[in-house]
Chain A
Amino acid sequence: MNLRVDLILETEQRSASIFNLKTLTRAVCIIIPSIVAAFFLVSFLGYWSLKTTVKDMKTEEEIKQPKVARADALRAEVDQNEAIKNELQGRRESAVDWHRQLVELMKVIPQEMYFDSLRVSHTFGSENNVTFRQFDMTISGKSKGSKSEDNVLMVKRSLTVSDFFKRYTNPPEVPVFKQDVDPGARKTDRIFRIECRYKPRKVL
């Protein structure tokens, strides 16, 4: 028969090991909540700091707002005035220097050709939000002598290939070329009409 005799009470029992279940439980009960609390505190402080930063930045933004509004208004004014300048520039660049056109035209007209009329017309056009000027020139007249056809063709060619007119005009058309039926006209005299459409010139 075995007899067990406890010399110390159960509550007085001690262990030689540092780790026993009770200590471990206590430690876990203290350390883990402490770590969690520390994390939470650090996180909350971070959150608070961010919130303060946002508040400060919003205040700064509010302080700057009137100046920014003035800057925006000024920028809009600059853009508007630049647009006005561009509009004026467009007017300038879209105009055709007709004194030069007439001078150059006189150079390519042979002496055997006479104008009955010269007419220049103008319209504004608009395509794809671009406004342009459209000029048309019509020359009607008579070409005298045996070289009538050659002369008209030469004028047409000059208006097509000359460096000066090439910049301004599309190749001209000759919709009328016929016998001059005037009583005093010779058999070789011709009546002609040359139509010349200018290239569109951007206004806006």
Chain B
Amino acid sequence: MKLPTDPKERNQILALIGLVAVGVCVGIFFGFKSLNASKDNLSRDIEELESSLSKADAKIKRMAVDEVDNEAAVKDILDISDKYVLSPRLGNYQLSARDILEAYADELGLEMDPVRGMGEGTVPSATKGAFGTYTARVSLYCGMHDLIRFLHRLETDNPYLCITGVQITERRAADKDRPQVSFEVQWPIWNDPEAKTKLEERIKESGSGGGAS
């Protein structure tokens, strides 16, 4: 193909070719730019996905360890709960507390007034804990030595209870060696008794191989 011999027409065609060429170049430039931007985005996505997948792999890999840790933790909690956390008898904590305290008093040969339940309480905290408190008051007439024996038995047999109050008042009468003594015993209790049941079910599931794998 030849360019027209007329200079005006030739210039017009050359200008048109130039314009088309510039247009094509601009198109190619923006095409590459857009493609590279998309590739950069995809590369970033890949990096994020790689990180996410490696985290996912780590989590999946850790499951076996977590399963063992969880089972151990649940067993520990249930063990402590069975031995040391006060359980209600038909929703009544006073009967359980009374039985425990009277058993100790009988064993130590101490005469005790009827155990007075002080009621359930909560431990103030920013996050709601799993355990509340139940406090019972014991009153008896005994010497310091007997009181110490009583407290010793209570505190060593159940390290999770707490003696929250002691009052020793001297009696003016003839029986001065046996002052009036009262003390308060605070046990941990489950805030939600269902929580313990759930833990027991969890252990049963793990035992039957139904745990997460």
Contacts and interface: CB of A to CB of B under 8 A. Distances in A.
Given A54-B42, A88-B80, A122-B186, 16 more contacts: A53-B46, A57-B50, A65-B56, A75-B66, A81-B199, A92-B159, A95-B160, A95-B163, A98-B155, A99-B151, A99-B155, A103-B148, A114-B170, A118-B166, A131-B123, A133-B162
Contacts of B50: 57
B59 interface: yes
Contacts of A162: none
Contacts of B202: 77
Interface of B: 28, 31-32, 35-36, 38-39, 42-43, 45-46, 49-50, 52-53, 56-57, 59-60, 62-63, 66-67, 69-70, 73-74, 76-77, 80, 123-127, 129-131, 144, 147-149, 151-152, 155, 159-170, 183-184, 186, 188, 199, 202, 212
**Chain A: interface secondary structure?**
helix
B129 A43 contact: no
Contact of B126 (A51, A68, A129, A133): A129
Interface residues of A, number: 62
Nearest to B211: A74
B167 A120 contact: yes
Interface of A: 36, 39-40, 43-44, 46-47, 50-51, 53-54, 57-58, 60-61, 64-65, 67-68, 70-75, 77-78, 81-85, 87-88, 91-92, 94-99, 102-103, 106, 114-122, 124-126, 129, 131, 133, 203-204
A39 B39 CA distance: 14
